[in-house]
Structure 1
Amino acid sequence: MRTLIVSEFISLDGVVDSPGGGDHPHAGWTFKDVEFDEAAYEIKGREQADAGCLLLGRQTYDEFAPVWPTMDEFADYNAMPKCVVSSTLTDPEWHNTTVLRSLDDVAALKESDEPGTILVHASPTLAQGLAAAGLVDRYHLLVFPVLLGSGKRLFATDAAKARLTLSEHAAYGNGVQLNVLDVVR
C-alpha cells in the first residue's frame, strides 16, 4: 500500500490559506512575513524525490496548472502523474493528469502497486476529507511563526479525534519548525 502524505505550510494558529499568494488578506505570508531559510525547505526536495503521484483538490489544481508547468524547480512534479479529486473537471490540461471522482478512487490509488508516495499539496478541503475517510498516513508540516487569525485551516473544527506520533522534527533560524507526524491506527 502506498503512503499518502499531506504536506502544508501552516501558520502557528493552523491556517494554510494562501501561503505563496492568493485571495487571503495576508497572502504570501511564508515569504513576506518570515525570513527565507533554505534549510527549512529541504523536506520539499525529499518529498519531490519520493513522490510517485501528486494528489490535488480542484481549486489547487486550478491555481497550480497554469503556473507550475513553466517553473523549472517543479520539473519532477510536472513529469510525474497528477490526480485531481473533482466531480466537475472533465478535461485536465496539465500533462499526465487524471481525474478521480471520489475518495473511493483515492483509496484505490493507495492500494495500487505504483511506486512512490502519494503527495497532497496545498489542498485543505481535500486533506480534511481524506483525514475523515482515514486515508492520510503522514503529515509534513512546515509551521511558520505567524498568527493569521482567519483563513482555510488544515484540520476541520468538527474532525474526529486522531492520534499522531512525531517521527521527525527540526527548528530553523527563522523560527520555522518542521513536524513530520505519522497517523496512529
Structure 2
Amino acid sequence: MRKIVYWVHASVDGFIDGPNGEFDWPRMGPELSAYSEALDQRVDTLLFGRPVWEMMVGFWPNAESISDDPHTTAFAPFWRATPKIVVSHSYAGDEWTSRVIGKDLAQEVADLKAEPGADLLLTGGSALAGALAELGLIDEFHIAVHPVVLGGGRPLFAHPEHRNNLQHIQTTVLDGQVVVSQYGVGA
C-alpha cells in the first residue's frame, strides 16, 4: 500500500505562511534541498489542497525563468513531469492538474493509497493536512521548522478536532538552522 508523506515548512510559532499569506521566509540551503529531493525520489504522485495548488501552479510551470536558485532548477522539472492531484469541492482543474478529487475525501484518498505505485507527497497546506491527519490517512510527517517567528498565518494543522498521537522517528538540523522532524503515526 502506498503511503502519504506530508512535507511542510513551518515557523517556530507553528504557522505555514505569514499573516498575509507570505511564503518568502523558508531558506532552501543545500542540505534542506537534498532532504526535499530525497522525498521526491520516493513518490510518483503529488497531492495538493486548492490554496497550495494555486500558489504552485502560479510558479512552477515557468520557475526557471523566475529564479535560478539551485533548488528551483532541480525541482521544477520534477514538478512538471509528476502527476498532480488537487483536492477540492469546486475546482475543475487546469492543464497541469492530472486529477481533481474531493467529493468523498476519505474514500478517494484511501483508493489512491490502494493503487499500485510509489508513495504520494502532500506538500504544504493546512486544511487538507488537518483533514487527512484527522482521518488517519497521513503515514509520515516531515516538518521543517525554520528560525522565524511569523506572529500569525495559517496554522500547521487547521482545526484539529481530535488528538493525533505521533511517533518520533528522527530529527535533523539542516544547513545549521532548519530543524526537520520526522514522525510516523503513533499509538
Global fold match (TM > 0.5)? yes
Alignment correspondent of 1:63? 55
Paired residue type of 2:169: S
Q: Indicate which of 29, 52, 61 corresponds to 2:44.
A: 52
TM-score, scaled relative to structure 1: 0.85
Q: How far did residue 38 of structure 1 move? A: 1.5
Paired residue type of 1:125: A
- The alpha-carbon distance between structure 1 residues 66 and 156, as it changes in their structure 2 partners (threshold 3 A), is closer
Contact between 1:140 and 1:180, CA under 8 Å: does it hold in 2?
yes
Q: What runs of 5+ residues in structure 2 fail to find an aligned partner?
A: 64-72
Q: Indicate which of 1, 26, 30 corresponds to 1:30.
A: 26
Q: Indicate which of 97, 109, 112 corresponds to 1:109.
A: 112
Contact between 2:130 and 2:159, CA under 8 Å: does it hold in 1?
no
Contact between 1:167 and 1:181, CA under 8 Å: does it hold in 2?
yes
TM-score, scaled relative to structure 2: 0.85
Paired residue type of 1:108: D
Q: How far did residue 173 of structure 1 move? A: 4.7
- The alpha-carbon distance between structure 1 residues 48 and 147, as it changes in their structure 2 partners (threshold 3 A), is same
Q: How far did residue 117 of structure 1 move? A: 0.9
Q: How far did residue 27 of structure 1 move? A: 3.9
Separation in 2, partners of 1:132, 1:4: 13
Separation in 2, partners of 1:105, 1:157: 21
Separation in 1, partners of 2:77, 2:2: 22
Q: What runs of 5+ residues in structure 1 fail to find an aligned partner?
A: none
Contact between 2:31 and 2:175, CA under 8 Å: does it hold in 1?
no
**2:98 is the alignment partner of 1:97:** yes
Contact between 1:37 and 1:174, CA under 8 Å: does it hold in 2?
no
Q: Indicate which of 31, 46, 52 corresponds to 1:39.
A: 31
Alignment correspondent of 2:169? 167
Contact between 1:92 and 1:98, CA under 8 Å: does it hold in 2?
no
**2:161 is the alignment partner of 1:136:** no
- The alpha-carbon distance between structure 1 residues 42 and 53, as it changes in their structure 2 partners (threshold 3 A), is same
Show structure 1 runs of 4+ deviating over 3 A. Answer: 156-159
Contact between 1:60 and 1:122, CA under 8 Å: does it hold in 2?
yes
Using the TM superposition, name which of 37-46 and 50-59 deviates more. 37-46
Report percent identity of matched pairs. Answer: 27
